[in-house]
Chain A
Amino acid sequence: MVPHRLVVVRERGFDVRSFGTGTHVKLPGPAPDKPNIYDFKTTYEQMYNDLVRKDKELYTQNGILHMLDRNKRIKTRPERFQSCKEQFDLVITCEERVYDQVLEDLNSREQESLQPVHVINVDIQDNHEEATLGAFLICELCQCIQHTDDMENEMDELLQEFEEKSQRPFLHTVCFY
């Protein structure tokens, strides 16, 4: 669901990329213990076709097909954060587990440019309502960050403000490329 939230951000004018961090792409299946698993080489198109073939009604109902349809218009296939060698200024994760993975990955890379990258985690429950709220929260956070003159200097304060407002803990750290 992570890409879903970040798409919102893109439409509001940020230069945003979405990534997965796991070893595979998992999509909800017919039961919680039976997810659909794809590797990162699979295109959204292929996933879409696969799910249509498996159970079109189910996946239309739970919105997965809709999501895949939208995603494939943005890019051909999901990307894995660990495989991306581009440098970012800010990484936002929506789950502490993902945050840890990102940190682990970034820290395991060989430092080179020492360009800092801020990593922020906002815990968002994986359900529809939370996702929508979380999407707006992240979007607002990004806007605020974009409006700062000096992101690094004001980030701390900003996050504390958001924390208070949203009543959610934010994890925040900085890593270096």
Chain B
Amino acid sequence: MASGVGEQAHGSVASQFYSNEEETAFDMTTSEKVVELLNQAALISTEEKLIVLKQVQELIINKDPSLLDNFLDEIIAFQTDKSIEVRKFVIGFIEEACKRDNELLLRLIANLNMLMRDESVNVVKKAILTLTQLYKVALQVSLSVSDMQEACWDMMTQIKEDVLALLDSDNDGVRTHAIKFTESLIITLSPRTPDSDTPKKQEGDISLDKIPKDHTYIRYDTLCEEGKSALEQLLKFMVHPAISSINLTTALGSLATLARQRPMFMSEVVQAYETLHANLPPTLAKSQVSSVRKNLKLHLVSVLKHPSSVDFQGQISTLLLDLGMSQSEITRCTPATVQPRKRLHHDNALFVLADAPLAEDDEDKEEPAPVVTPKPSSSVGTQSAIDLTAEFLLPLLTPDNVANLVLISMVYLPEVMPASFQATYTPVESAGTDAQIKHLARLMATQMTGAGLGPGLELCKARDEEVKEEDGGAGESSSKDPLIIRKLSAVSLGQAISVVGAPAAYKTPITEEAPQIKKLPEPILPTSQPKAPGASGRKKVFKLADVVQPFSEAQIEKLSNMAIKRILLSEKVIAQSGMSHVRVKLLARLVTQFEGGKKNDLLQFILEDMRGRSELAFSLLYHEYNEYLSQQPSGSLDSYEHCLYTLLSGLQEKPEQRDGLFTKLVLEAPVITDSALEVIQRYCEDESRVYLGMSTLKELILKRPSRQYQYLNVLLNLSSHEKEKVRSTALSFIKRMYEKEHLKDCIEKFALTYMQFLVHPNPPSLLFGAGEDTEVASPWTEETVRQCLYLYLSLLPLNHRLVHELAAVYTEAIADIKRSVLRVIEQPIRGMGMSSPDLLLLVENCPKGAETLVTRCLHILTDKVPPSPELVERVRDLYHKRVPDVRFLIPVINGLEKNEVIQALPKLIKLNPIVVKEVFNRLLGTQHSEGSSSMSPLTPGELLIALHNIDSSKCDMKSIIKATNLCFGEKNVYTSEVLAVVMQQLMEQTPLPILLMRTVIQSLTMYPRLAGFVMNILARLILKQVWKYPKVWEGFVKCCQRTKPQSYNVLLQLPPPQLPNILS
């Protein structure tokens, strides 16, 4: 195997393919092989491609036709190949495929139609050849009824017309092919008769006689008329004075074929030969004349050999003699006929030559014509016209007249003898004889009829009319003319449709037909009745407007939609060819120019795969914008806006993407419209995309200065959003933007405006979202207050000056709001720190009504950190100079001097017990575990002593007692040692503090082991004449009572006067 491959490598590419095929045949199915070959074909050079494609054709048409359907499209795709040969191959393939499976024509006809318009004449010619074959196939297929097939047939009919029109092509070869097509067409569209000379291979071919007369859309009569019309076209074509020799040769051959296969046309053919022979085109060169004459002879002989030529043997023989054939040869070619005589009678005027059997025909002249059997009616007219004119001329050809004619004609003779004349000229042997005069008359008659002159022609016309009138009533043959005319118009109507392949409801004419035939056959006649034979002039000029009708709006819409859809769906194919940018541009341009549906279709299409089709999206967007610009100044952005809006919202509905397409779209869009901004806002409000939305918005703000305030506003509005995530993200974005100098003002203003809402009695509707824009009478809530403050509070740490605004608002706000404000400011104030100059200033100024605010601030600041000297200074100032509210001092109490604290104590302990507790906590350092206690200006002992020393005129005893109780509550601070020191010091004071003994007793209760120490105190008190202080004495006695028996020792030291006091 391996060596086999090696050998093959040196062979030609083609042989390689073959060998590959052989090698792989064992393990590959035909289908796989085809796929492989097709893949190869896409990549290789033209020559190799053809080889490969032919292999494919062999495989799928002959070897395994079941594959034909599968690979049809792949092969047909080559119809756009650059190579002419490949395109021709495709045509050949279509032909083979359709012949193999007639139904395929339904699908392939349109391709054929396209290829027939190919720019290369060689392709066109190949297409015509194929059409020649497939016309029959189409007719065959159409015989089984279905809509699809009708469309196919309509198109084929149209194509047929197109090919016929190519008889006028500029290209010689194309004309040649068109002639052959016409020939085949005429044969198909005429009935085969028993005397038809049909080639064996064409025996199965369809022809008019096989067309049923009751078919829905294939009309026997129409086809028959089309066939005749084609014949007329061919005949007209032949008499064109500038016809090329090859075309003429071809046409001559075609006529011979027609005469043999359709003897019914024998008379027209012979007539045409005669005319041609007498009027060889003057443009032919000498050698061309010889060629044509040679052909003419050949074809005449072949016609003569046909049995049906008997009626025309005379004419043909005359021509052949003129062409230089000997009489014996002619006779040899003439078929033996049963009754040649009788048939000849009909054309009695023709036989002017001195042919023995024909010379007698004068005597038969009176015999009636009906003897002639299968005479095609249409030929009667032409033939008779020449006959009649010849008869008319005969008596006029006197020697005088002829001489005059010759003299007059001399003037018109050309300088040089035309080649055709030179070739055909033979000296007149029997000048002046009757036979020669008759021959001359006939020649002239032929010329005159050809030119549309002569009495014979007029007579014929008149007779034709009569005949038709008669026929109008009844008879099979009669129905043809009127009906055909009607059908022609119906067909041309159908053709118009077939161009676009929309088989619409054009069946109506059929139903109307029957009645019309009888009613109105004649008025329609003149319009499309084919011109009388012999009349000069060419086929009616083809005008597009005659055969097509404008589409309805709906049709246009539908078709253009379909076209665009096709472009849309061809995405992959085009991408593979690397031309997707063209497609994108095309789509965008097309769609931009249309309203409505297409645009939505396209947008929908883009959104199906936004990532893959983003290029299309951008292109569309730009085109829309361009459209808008081009319509300035009156242009509307609606269309652009719709486009942008749909794309953006479409993106939002999709699952989250991380490719930044949304941002890209927003940033690259030429203009962000209001609705687009709404979408962006929706993005920002969507918790899963808030970051994406806002960073996009941020980019917009920074990069689109012209409308940055509008964008900023959106972001600012989001700062009070009800969703926490949205809000906090917005705030963090704003904070970053706040650093930009030019945006600062705007942000601040917004924040302050919101804060200003707090002075209103009710929250503004703005806070409840856009939907509820009516004034809402609901009260302020914690939530609404916060909404107004979020932004402000997040800015506060960045710009401390703003704190004064808060104070201003605070003073005016109602109590509820104040409470809320106090609750929310903790974070920002702490963030500002006690060193903030503005905060210090606030403390210093403390606007009236803002005392609670300032206090709160102080508390927050000192909550965890000891107060700074500056702060203490400010507070002290405030306290002393402006607002003597002792509560200010509490936060900074640890920053005060000892005596200040002692001074303030009386006021402090009169406050709310909770506050007092806090004060003590601060002073005792029991508030927090941190070492703030070390900062306390008073030691616990000093505090307790200070309490004892408070002047009772400044403070009621009850408050003092409560305060001392607070101290005793702090067992950890007031240990027995501390208390001992306190008692010691108090005892040494003079006068003794009122609460001394209370403290002693309390200490003793807490720490019973202090009893010894207490005894000592008691003893000392005796020395200080304790009985002189009634309150203390009272306590002394109580204490002694509690401590007996230890106290007895002390009691013994009392002086006698006081002793009974105790004992009693």
Contact = CB atoms under 8 A, between A and B. Distances in A.
A163 B287 contact: yes
A171 B256 CA distance: 20
Contact of A173 (B125, B202, B246, B257): B246
Interface stretch (A17-25, A34-42, A110-118, A138-146): A110-118
Contact of A153 (B121, B184, B201, B298): B121
Contact of B246 (A104, A169, A174): A174
A152 B294 CA distance: 20
Interface in A144-177: 150-153, 155-156, 159-160, 163, 169-176
A105 to B, nearest CB: 11
A170 B287 contact: yes
B-side binding surface: helix, strand, loop or mixed? helix
B171 A153 contact: yes
Interface residues of A, number: 29
A137 interface: no
Contacts of A55: none
A91 interface: no
B287 A169 contact: yes
Nearest to A164: B285
A20 B302 CA distance: 24
A107 B255 CA distance: 13
A92 interface: no
A69 interface: no
Interface string B175-202: 0110010001000000000000001111
Contacts of A151: 173
B646 interface: no
User: Taking each of A110, A113, A160, A176, which has the highest tally of chain B beta carbons within 10 Å of its own beta carbon?
Assistant: A176
Interface string B265-299: 00000000000000000000111101100110011
Contacts of B199: 110-112
B176 A152 contact: yes
B253 interface: yes
A-side binding surface: helix, strand, loop or mixed? mixed
A107 B290 contact: no
A163 B285 contact: yes
A113 B133 CA distance: 8
A118 to B, nearest CB: 8
B176 A116 contact: yes
Contacts of B389: none
Interface size class on chain B is 35 or more
Given A155-B246, A172-B246, A100 B172 contact: no
Given A107-B253, A150-B122, A156-B246, A169 B290 contact: yes
Nearest to A104: B298
B302 A110 contact: no
A171 B245 CA distance: 11
B291 A173 contact: yes
B250 interface: yes
B394 interface: no
B236 to A, nearest CB: 20
A124 interface: no
A172 B287 contact: yes
Interface in B176-230: 176-177, 180, 184, 199-202
B121 A150 contact: yes
A103 interface: yes
B246 A107 contact: no
Interface in B129-152: 129, 132-133
A156 B122 CA distance: 17
Interface in B295-330: 295, 298-299, 302
Interface in B238-272: 244-246, 249-250, 253, 256-257
A170 B285 CA distance: 10
A163 B184 CA distance: 34
Given A107-B298, A176-B253, A153 B172 contact: yes
B172 A172 contact: no
User: Taking each of B132, B246, B302, which has the highest tally of chain A beta carbons within 10 Å of its own beta carbon?
Assistant: B246
Nearest to A154: B172
A103 B129 contact: no
A115 B286 contact: no
Given A107-B302, A152-B172, A173 B294 contact: yes
B298 A152 contact: no
B304 to A, nearest CB: 13
B129 A115 contact: yes
A163 B299 CA distance: 26
A50 B146 CA distance: 69
Contact of A152 (B184, B246, B253, B299): B246
Interface in A105-141: 107, 110-116, 118
B171 A150 contact: yes
B252 to A, nearest CB: 9
A96 B202 CA distance: 32
Contacts of A175: 253
Contacts of B256: 107
Contacts of B302: 107
A13 B990 CA distance: 147
A156 B285 CA distance: 10
A176 B180 contact: yes
Contacts of B132: 114
29 contacts: A103-B295, A107-B256, A107-B299, A107-B302, A110-B199, A110-B202, A111-B257, A112-B199, A114-B129, A114-B180, A114-B184, A116-B173, A116-B176, A116-B177, A116-B180, A150-B173, A152-B173, A153-B121, A153-B173, A155-B246, A156-B244, A156-B246, A159-B287, A169-B286, A170-B287, A171-B290, A173-B246, A173-B294, A175-B253
Interface of A: 100, 103-104, 107, 110-116, 118, 150-153, 155-156, 159-160, 163, 169-176
Given A100-B294, A116-B177, A173-B246, 4 more contacts: A153-B171, A172-B287, A172-B288, A173-B291
The 10 closest A-B pairs by CB, nearest first: A152-B173, A110-B199, A169-B287, A153-B172, A114-B180, A173-B249, A171-B291, A153-B171, A174-B246, A173-B291
